[in-house]
Amino acid sequence: NIMGNVDKEISNLNIFDNSSINLYGRSKVIDYNNKKQVFFGFTATGFELICEPTSEQNEIKATLLSESEGHEHQYIKTYIDGKEKEVIELNKGEQEITLFKNLEVGKHQLKVLKMNELSTTKLYMSSLTGSNLKYYKRTYNPKRNLIEFYGDSITAGYGNLGEPSSKTYLTKEQDGTLSYAQQLADKLDYDSSIIAWSGIALTKTLAPYGVNMMDKYDTYDGVNKYEGENNKPKIAVINLGSNDYGGYFDENKSSAEKKKGIEEFIKNYGIIVDYIKTRSPECKIISCYNMCYDIGTKLISAIKTSNSNINEKYGANTGYVVQFGGNQSGANGHPSLIAHNTYTKILYDFIEKNIK
């Protein structure tokens, strides 16, 4: 069992089985519109392909179907050998897109990631074809580590490309590949799985927008259960509570409802942690709060109680809590790109010191 990645040449590029491309996050092969498609839903889902040009003229095209709620466009980002290549704007509906063109001589790792979140955009790929290229399937040895995130608009990168004067959600002002979550995965050299949804709360009782993480946390598309392979994180980051805070301070909520909401928050935290630990018994859990604004003593205390419960149930040094300073200098009261960069560094340093 010699260590080292293995690239096996493939004669036939088949994106619907495990033999050609590596999928990121909870990407999944499904039947849709009477044909097989690769579905990309959550933030920074996508795929990796290894190839080598056989001629200076070469290209890779994909047939992509873009669906978006109330937005004309969604965006994807391409990478060559780990470096950002370009952002591609997709129109609604099906289209053929050239993803890569005239790659230089030599073997390349190509990546395509979805920049927007599942709450507003869905992406389907029904074909991937190339010309003048040899393809390889890369098997990683050792297997790549996975870091999983459960979060709201902050984790999805809402408004990180925008200015405070922008008072609404725009797909073009969101780059999930530059959220603290994906940046942290890149810095650790881990694969990521980002379960993030703008406006989402951890409790039904406090949810101000009616979106509840308990309906989403174990799905690949917000509805159907994810049963795939990318499911055994070494580290999981939970960054929830900002929207529950909004609900907690709703003046129409009685103190009984608020109390119930906090109890529900702690209970649901435990359910998600159990779900993570069942699939990945060695996983460490990092709980984050105040990345956007101060979420108040009641919710902070609920997060700390949840963390104590983790360490009581799964052993000391399983759960950790990281407090942030808040930032609302991106679009519509959300953290800016500079803040996401800072949060990435804080979490990376914390992991290097306490976990790795």
* Residue 230 pLDDT greater than 90, yes or no: no
* Residue 339 pLDDT greater than 70, yes or no: yes
Number of Cβ within 10 Å of residue 50's Cβ equals 21
Q: Give the model confidence (pLDDT) of 55-79 as tens digits.
A: 999 999 999 999 998 888 999 999 9
Task: Share the mean pLDDT of the chain.
Answer: 96
Block residue for tokens 């109680």: 305
Nearest to 177 by CA among 253, 97, 77: 77
* Residue 4 pLDDT greater than 90, yes or no: no
Question: How many helices, marked H, and strands, marked E, lie in the chain?
Answer: 6, 17
Block residue for tokens 């530059």: 178
Asked if 71 and 42 count as a contact pair (C-beta separation under 8 A), the reply is no
For residue 197 the two structure tokens come to 């949804």
* Residue 2 pLDDT greater than 70, yes or no: no
Number of Cβ within 10 Å of residue 338's Cβ equals 12
Omega cis (within 30) before 335: no
Nearest to 107 by CA among 46, 47, 54: 54
Instruction: Write down the pTM of the prediction.
Output: 0.97
Give the orientation angle of helix 255-279 with respect to helix 296-314, to 10 degrees: 30
